């Protein structure tokens, strides 16, 4: 089976991935108040009455009585309370739903952002987990929350929606549009059925204007139609159903290297806009494409670039003929309309090769074909192209063919005594097939003609002449010539297909290698260098990548790295950025530049430009490299866009983390600074009235506590800034442990400190000050969590590849799963009333200081006796094994 006769393997794989997952149904609305929640609850009630196990995970009624009435009768999973900045927020309890395991769960507001501390930051991620568990989900969403439409909605509503849902969620969902006319929705708003009266008045003059609601309604209906169309195509591909299934229009524009192709692209764009349909510009690459001139290739590249700028997808498809390639592509794409141009060809050309338009119209079904006339002068252009030098091959091709014919003639003369004359003719098929397969059709035809003449001259009586006495021999000559022609055709066709397949394989291998290199890049600088290096290697050019900046194009990567750009090159790069078109040598703008600059375009605009040049005087990119270059530019643009989005996402997470840390810091400061300050002030006032040594000691203790807290804040700031000054020297672990125990004696009051460190433990190369800070924070933590009166142990043991230094207490220990979380900033151990004391900075400082010195730290539970154990591991490379090593830095 081939083409549409066989089911799509990709569709089967996607179906297999959905096996065992729950099904998602989304109730899509144009705006709040259209009745999405009401419709979801109504469908849920019908499913429950039909015997399906239905529960409510979360439903937002917003005080609407009709909606609240529909909730009654459903089993409701209680929400989970989450503490956030002193407020209790109710979030969907996903664990309770998974434990209850219903057949269907109703989850309102798919785009909702969960409270900090929830398992997932977004509710749609909760829904994904429920679907993975095999539970069906009904949910609701407004069209402005769809990620790909976020910018479109903001462009006319002037409201930027921050809570969005990826399009991939909707691609695998069943969508039901909940729709009411804009006038009816506005009336509901005025009646207070959507917002309270004060908010409703403001909404009517802003978001809920009739023009906005109409546009939102159109977006919702169109997005639902696209989803239905995509699901229909998935079904027909997985079941190998024939036909275009024209639920939605899909347009294919057939382009060529002729100048008229640009008009075809513009006509395709107008047709796509009128039908609101996706469209693709496709070039069918046949064996004739191998003989295109440099001007033709540039024209083709310009045409495909124009189509891309106008919003089309572009494709280059190798095929045996234009008609077969177009039919195959249109069938795979389920196209409903094809736009093609009819160029003016001489009558003898159409008699020999046929008309592409006529063949396409006769052989393609269920597809409308739009034929545009060719421009005047196209016939002369095409006729001139038929005589391109080199299409007849090199002289050596014909000499080799003639040599093969001579060899077969000599062999035939040797075998003439043992085989029939008729079999001698079969020998001449060998040079014909060899010439056609190796050198092409014309060389094969030449070998066929030479074989006929040689057979006549050397073997048919009268030998030595070209005359033929026996009419049967005339038939032999004609049959030999006919077989030679047919064989040449077949052999040349196979060779052309093999050449196309080989070329396509090389292109695909190059693109796959390029894609792997870009995917493996861990950061933007590495990515940009990889783009320059790979493009330079594949096209044999020098490359440079420039990004926009306030001072003009900024060079960010170059291969070789010593390349620098002159003023004319920077002007060309700036022009390419501003106009989204190539500039420089080989283009039509600023040709004085030695470099050619191509813009890296995405849906978000131009991200930068890629420059190319050669060491010699040739143009930077050969005409036959243009299709590969365009594919490389597309992949590079996508990779840069992905990296920028990841960095923006990282910056957003860092801002959120800073906000969280700031909130935690304020909360911590409000307690940990106020408490010792209050004690100090009270003691100072009391001393003023009645001097006392005990009060002075209290002031000193609280001042030291306050000083330690401020030191921790400063140390944490240095850790996060990566500005830790270090002075590495030989350090005795026993002395370090004793010093830390002495400085924390106030925190360890009531606890016996046991130092279990053998005198044979060697010295280590660390910063003694940072190690001291690590130990006093670990001891202070042990003093707060250890049970009263229990000992605290400082132990060091030598292993094969490290020294382990542990602080062991006898307390509640660490809750399972929190062994790594305890080292996070402002994290306090749970499970004890003592957890509320302290800032949650000490262990984070220990981790930061240890990693700065090249050490590692880990937390675990001690079994006998029960308690927490914090271990600092000093690797072998920092252990001084010889006395002479003590002075090493």
Q: pLDDT digits over 595-626, tens only?
A: 889 888 876 778 899 998 887 766 777 766 77
Residue 238 pLDDT = 58
pLDDT at residue 246 tops 70: no
Give residue-wise pLDDT tens across range 58-107. 998 777 777 788 888 888 998 888 876 667 788 899 999 999 999 999 99
Q: How many helices (H) and strands (E) does the chain have?
A: 29, 25
Give residue-wise pLDDT tens across range 362-373. 877 778 888 887
Domain ranges of the chain: 9-239, 251-387, 391-496, 724-880
Assign domain 724-880 one CATH number from 3.30.470.10, 3.30.70.80, 3.30.565.10, 3.40.50.300. 3.30.565.10
CATH class for domain 251-387?
alpha beta
Q: Which residue has the higher pLDDT, 549 or 694?
A: 549
Give residue-wise pLDDT tens across range 860-886. 988 878 899 999 999 999 998 755 444
Can you name the residues that pair with 546 across neighbouring β-strands? Answer: 555, 609
Backbone angles phi, psi at 768, to 5 degrees: -65, -30
Q: How long is the chain?
A: 889
Cβ partners under 8 Å of residue 428, min gap 6? 405, 408, 451, 452, 454, 455, 480, 484
Averaged pLDDT, 426-430: 81
Question: What percent helix, strand, coil does the chain show, rounded to 5?
Answer: 55, 15, 30
Averaged pLDDT, 794-798: 92
Give residue-wise pLDDT tens across range 376-411. 444 444 444 433 434 566 788 888 888 988 998 888
Residue 206 pLDDT = 57
Assign domain 9-239 to its CATH architecture.
3-Layer(aba) Sandwich (3.40)
pLDDT grade for 333, boundaries at 50, 70 and 90: confident
pLDDT grade for 276, boundaries at 50, 70 and 90: confident
Residue 348 pLDDT = 58
Same fold, 9-239 and 724-880: no
- Is this model's pTM higher than 0.85 or not? no
Which of 612, 620, 609 has its CA nearest to residue 575?
Answer: 609
Are 549 and 662 in contact by the 8 Å Cβ rule? The answer is no
Which of 802, 729, 796, 734 has its CA nearest to residue 769?
Answer: 729
For the ranges 41-45, 203-207, 427-431, the lowest mean pLDDT is seen at: 203-207
Q: Which residue has the higher pLDDT, 709 or 592?
A: 592
Cβ partners under 8 Å of residue 496, min gap 6? 286, 287, 320
Residue 201 pLDDT = 47
pLDDT at residue 171 tops 80: no
Residue 200 pLDDT = 44
Residue 442 pLDDT = 75
Residue 101 pLDDT = 92
Backbone angles phi, psi at 712, to 5 degrees: -65, -40
Residue 54 pLDDT = 93
Residue 496 pLDDT = 67
Question: What is the rounded average pLDDT for all residues in the chain?
Answer: 77
Write down the H helix ranges in 135-195: 150-157, 167-171, 182-190
Averaged pLDDT, 250-272: 87
Averaged pLDDT, 449-478: 75
Averaged pLDDT, 690-700: 71
pLDDT at residue 120 tops 80: yes
Assigned token pair, 332: 């795979």
For the ranges 229-243, 576-590, 648-662, the lowest mean pLDDT is seen at: 229-243
Averaged pLDDT, 308-315: 78
Give residue-wise pLDDT tens across range 726-777. 788 999 999 999 999 988 887 788 899 999 998 888 999 998 988 988 898 8
pLDDT grade for 199, boundaries at 50, 70 and 90: very low
Which of 515, 554, 521 has its CA nearest to residue 636?
Answer: 515
Q: Which residue has the higher pLDDT, 355 or 808?
A: 808
Residue 519 pLDDT = 77
């Amino acid at each position: 089976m081939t083409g549409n006769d066989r089911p799509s393997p990709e569709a089967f794989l996607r179906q297999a991935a959905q096996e065992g997952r729950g099904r998602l149904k989304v109730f899509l609305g144009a705006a709040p108040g259209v009745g999405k929640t009401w419709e979801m609850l109504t469908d849920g009630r019908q499913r429950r009455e039909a015997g399906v196990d239905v529960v409510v995970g979360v439903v937002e009624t917003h005080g609407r009585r009709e909606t609240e009435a529909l909730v009654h009768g459903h089993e409701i999973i209680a929400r989970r309370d989450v503490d956030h900045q002193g407020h209790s927020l109710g979030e969907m309890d996903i664990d309770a739903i998974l434990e209850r395991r219903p057949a269907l769960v109703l989850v309102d507001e798919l785009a909702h952002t969960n409270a900090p501390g929830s398992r997932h930051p977004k509710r749609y991620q909760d829904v994904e987990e429920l679907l993975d568990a095999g539970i069906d989900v009904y949910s609701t969403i407004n069209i402005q929350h769809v990620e790909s439409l976020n910018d479109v909605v903001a462009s006319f509503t002037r409201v930027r929606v921050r809570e969005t849902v990826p399009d991939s969620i909707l691609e695998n969902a069943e969508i039901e549009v909940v729709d009411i006319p804009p006038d009816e929705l506005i009336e509901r708003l005025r009646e207070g059925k959507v917002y309270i009266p004060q908010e409703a008045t403001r909404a009517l003059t802003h978001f809920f204007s009739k023009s906005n609601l109409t546009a939102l309604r159109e977006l919702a209906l169109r997005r639902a139609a696209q989803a239905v169309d995509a699901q229909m195509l998935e079904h027909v591909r997985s079941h190998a159903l024939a036909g275009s299934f024209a639920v939605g229009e899909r347009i294919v524009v057939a382009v060529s290297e002729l100048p008229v192709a640009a008009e075809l692209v513009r006509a395709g764009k107008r047709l796509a806009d009128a039908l609101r349909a996706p469209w693709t510009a496709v070039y069918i690459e046949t064996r004739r494409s191998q003989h295109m001139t440099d001007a033709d290739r540039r024209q083709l590249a310009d045409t495909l670039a124009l189509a891309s700028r106008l919003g089309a997808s572009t494709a280059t498809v190798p095929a045996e003929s234009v008609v077969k390639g177009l039919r195959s592509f249109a069938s795979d794409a389920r196209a409903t309309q094809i736009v093609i141009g009819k160029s003016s060809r001489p009558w003898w050309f159409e008699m020999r090769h046929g008309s592409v338009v006529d063949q396409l119209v006769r052989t393609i079904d269920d597809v409308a074909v739009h034929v545009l006339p060719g421009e005047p002068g196209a016939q002369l252009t095409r006729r001139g192209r038929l005589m391109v030098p080199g299409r007849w091959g090199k002289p050596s091709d014909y000499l080799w063919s003639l040599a093969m014919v001579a060899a077969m003639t000599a062999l035939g003369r040797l075998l003439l005594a043992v085989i029939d004359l008729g079999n001698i003719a079969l020998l001449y098929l060998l040079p014909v097939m060899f010439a056609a397969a190796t050198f092409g059709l014309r060389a094969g035809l030449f070998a066929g003609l030479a074989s006929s003449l040689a057979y006549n001259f050397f073997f048919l009586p009268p030998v030595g002449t070209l005359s033929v006495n026996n009419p049967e021999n005339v038939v032999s000559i004609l049959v030999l010539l006919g077989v030679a022609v047919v064989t040449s055709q077949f052999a040349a066709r196979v060779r052309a297909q093999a050449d196309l397949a080989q070329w396509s394989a090389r292109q695909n291998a190059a693109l796959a290698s390029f894609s792997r290199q870009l995917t493996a890049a861990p950061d933007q600088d590495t990515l940009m260098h990889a783009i320059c290096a790979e493009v330079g290697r594949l096209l044999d050019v020098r490359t440079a990548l420039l990004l926009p900046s306030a001072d003009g194009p900024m060079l960010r990567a170059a291969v070789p790295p010593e390349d620098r750009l002159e003023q004319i090159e920077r002007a060309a790069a700036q022009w390419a950025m501003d106009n989204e078109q190539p500039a420089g040598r080989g283009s039509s703008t600023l040709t004085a530049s030695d470099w050619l600059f191509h813009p890296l375009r995405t849906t978000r605009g131009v991200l930068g430009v890629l420059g190319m040049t050669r060491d010699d005087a040739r143009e930077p990119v050969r005409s036959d490299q243009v299709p590969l270059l365009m594919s490389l530019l597309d992949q590079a643009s996508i990779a840069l866009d992905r990296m920028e989005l990841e960095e923006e996402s990282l910056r957003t997470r860092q801002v959120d983390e800073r906000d969280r840390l700031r909130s935690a810091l304020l909360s911590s400061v409000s307690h940990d600074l106020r408490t010792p300050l209050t004690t100090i002030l009270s003691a100072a006032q009391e001393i003023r009235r009645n001097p006392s040594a005990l009060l002075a000691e209290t002031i000193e203790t609280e001042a030291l506590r306050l000083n330690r807290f401020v030191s921790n804040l400063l140390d944490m700031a240095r850790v996060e800034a990566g500005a830790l000054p270090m002075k590495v020297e030989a350090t005795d672990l026993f002395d370090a442990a004793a010093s830390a125990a002495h400085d924390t004696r106030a925190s360890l009051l009531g606890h016996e400190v046991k130092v279990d460190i053998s005198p044979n433990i060697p010295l280590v190369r660390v910063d003694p000050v940072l190690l001291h800070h690590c130990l006093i924070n670990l001891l202070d933590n042990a003093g707060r969590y250890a049970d009263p009166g229990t000992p605290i142990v400082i132990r060091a043991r030598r292993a094969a590849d490290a020294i382990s230094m542990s602080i062991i207490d006898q307390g509640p220990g660490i809750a399972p799963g929190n062994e790594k979380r305890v080292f996070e900033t402002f994290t306090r151990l749970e499970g004890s009333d003592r957890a509320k004391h302290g800032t949650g900075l000490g262990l984070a400082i220990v981790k930061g200081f240890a990693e700065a010195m090249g050490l590692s730290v880990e937390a675990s539970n001690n079994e006998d006796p029960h308690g927490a154990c914090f271990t600092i591991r000093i690797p072998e490379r920092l252990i001084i094994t010889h006395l002479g090593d003590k002075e090493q830095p």
